[in-house]
A and B are shown apart, each in its own frame.
Chain A
Amino acid sequence: GAGVSQTPSNKVTEKGKYVELRCDPISGHTALYWYRQSLGQGPEFLIYFQGTGAADDSGLPNDRFFAVRPEGSVSTLKIQRTERGDSAVYLCASSSGLAGGTQYFGPGTRLTVL
């Protein structure tokens, strides 16, 4: 079956602009996670959804970052007033929602802020 998909695969934007990154999880997966990965680092947790609600948003670095999952499936990560330090690969993962369930990662969106 289809895995986690993310669009766009690459996004180049200018400092100060607004961007939206989309994640389409595996069908039927209730849990969805956003991570950010900088070069040479492991994925860093941003936010976790269980269904439509954000169960844990403690990893969001500041209030410029926001994510939604209005229908419990597709999620959008929104970044306002982008900064050069936001440049990274943004990874989305989904799981069945059971505690400790395997997380399946999407291919990521590489965000470059000029």
Chain B
Amino acid sequence: GQQVMQIPQYQHVQEGEDFTTYCNSSTTLSNIQWYKQRPGGHPVFLIQLVKSGEVKKQKRLTFQFGEAKKNSSLHITATQTTDVGTYFCAGPGGSQGNLIFGKGTKLSVKP
């Protein structure tokens, strides 16, 4: 079945350093979504990418969707302690709407 894989599983950075997480799908995706889950919290939608090669920015966060629409990345510039959490990518599942999530990348930031 369809799989969404993320690396790395964990990332520890010093505050101010950059961070990148990568997402790969076993199949071509119509879109990819990114969510952030703070410790003890629930997933919160960050962004959706739809077009091949699309790049979107949200302040210090840059999201990319690969040309083949099978991979994506999230890059955070100059991390802050508020960036702590687990970042998930998710692609559409079999039916209209359900999502297949990766295992996430857990980011910790040392002040």
Which A residues have a C-beta under 8 Å from some C-beta of B? Answer: 31, 33, 35, 40-45, 48, 50, 55-56, 58-59, 91, 95, 97, 99-108
Contact = CB atoms under 8 A, between A and B. Distances in A.
A99 B33 CA distance: 13
B97 A101 contact: yes
B44 interface: yes
A48 B97 contact: yes
A105 B88 CA distance: 13
19 contacts: A33-B97, A33-B99, A42-B103, A43-B88, A43-B101, A45-B98, A48-B95, A48-B97, A48-B98, A55-B95, A91-B42, A99-B97, A100-B31, A100-B50, A103-B45, A105-B42, A105-B43, A107-B41, A108-B42
Interface residues of B, number: 27
Contact of B103 (A31, A40, A99): A40
Contacts, number: 68
Contacts of A99: 96-97
B97 A42 contact: no
Main secondary structure of the interface of B (DSSP, over half): loop
Nearest to B103: A42
A92 to B, nearest CB: 9
B13 interface: no
When A and B form their complex, which 6 residue pairs have the shortest distance between CB atoms, in order from nearest? A42-B101, A56-B95, A105-B42, A45-B98, A48-B98, A105-B43
B1 to A, nearest CB: 10
